[in-house]
Amino acid sequence: MWGTHLAWYHLLHPRPAYVIGSGEPPEGNFMTASWVTPVATDEPLVALALDRETYTYKLVKKYGHFTIAIVEDVNLLWKLGTKSGEEVNKLEMVEYFKGKKVPSPIPKNAIGWIEAEVKQMIPVAEVDMVIGKVVHWEAVKGFGRRGWDLKEVKIPLQKAGRSFVFPCEEVLAKG
């Protein structure tokens, strides 16, 4: 469903694409995900629409935690989103460190990341909506009062298939 066929959900793109880290190295994995959203703030919750066919799904279910990393490298996003950890060891393709509150991996070149513990996994069609509680987050550079400084960092959004865009114009709404 994240392939090259144009579909209704492309109306909801461009949307940021992230690297999801799962498991506990040496049993760990990275995959790309763009169907990721904040859900609540009283209790800080985030959700992933995670295909049950993915290796990431198995590791998230087994270990009960994951990370969401922001990287600027679209080639890395494409690579991690088009190969499965069932076939290749993606931990060997990316330099990484483990999270501070959960031991899932985070790419070394991440400009920010979230660490989450699984609160709920809700099966819907071919995915599980994975609701995670944010237990730690960090930005490495270019993050301030108004969020990301787009002059300093590049936040890739997936448009469709292998086509990505970088937001570059910032506008302050009046009123």
Ligand X SMILES: Cc1cc2nc3c(=O)[nH]c(=O)nc-3n(C[C@H](O)[C@H](O)[C@H](O)COP(=O)(O)O)c2cc1C
Closest distance of CB 51 from ligand X, Å: 3
Nearer to ligand X, 78 or 148 (CB): 78
CA dihedral 158, 160, 163, 164 (to 10 degrees): -20
Q: Which is nearer to ligand X, 21 or 99 (CB)?
A: 21
Nearer to ligand X, 82 or 170 (CB): 82
The residue (of 69 and 77) whose beta carbon lies closer to ligand X is 77
Q: How far is the CB of 124 from ligand X (least distance, A)?
A: 12
99, 103, 105, 110 alpha-carbon torsion, rounded to 10°: -10
The residues of the shown chain that bind ligand X, judged by CB under 6 A, are 2, 17, 29, 31-35, 49-51, 54-56, 77-78, 81-86, 158
Least distance to ligand X from the beta carbon of 146, Å? 26
Contact predicate 44/133, CB 8 Å:
yes
Cβ nearer to ligand X, comparing 94 with 134: 94
Q: Nearest distance from residue 140's CB to ligand X, in Å? A: 22
* Position closest to ligand X via CB: 81
Of 77, 151, 79, 64, nearest to 115 by C-alpha is 64
How near is the Cβ of 173 to ligand X at its closest, in Å? 28
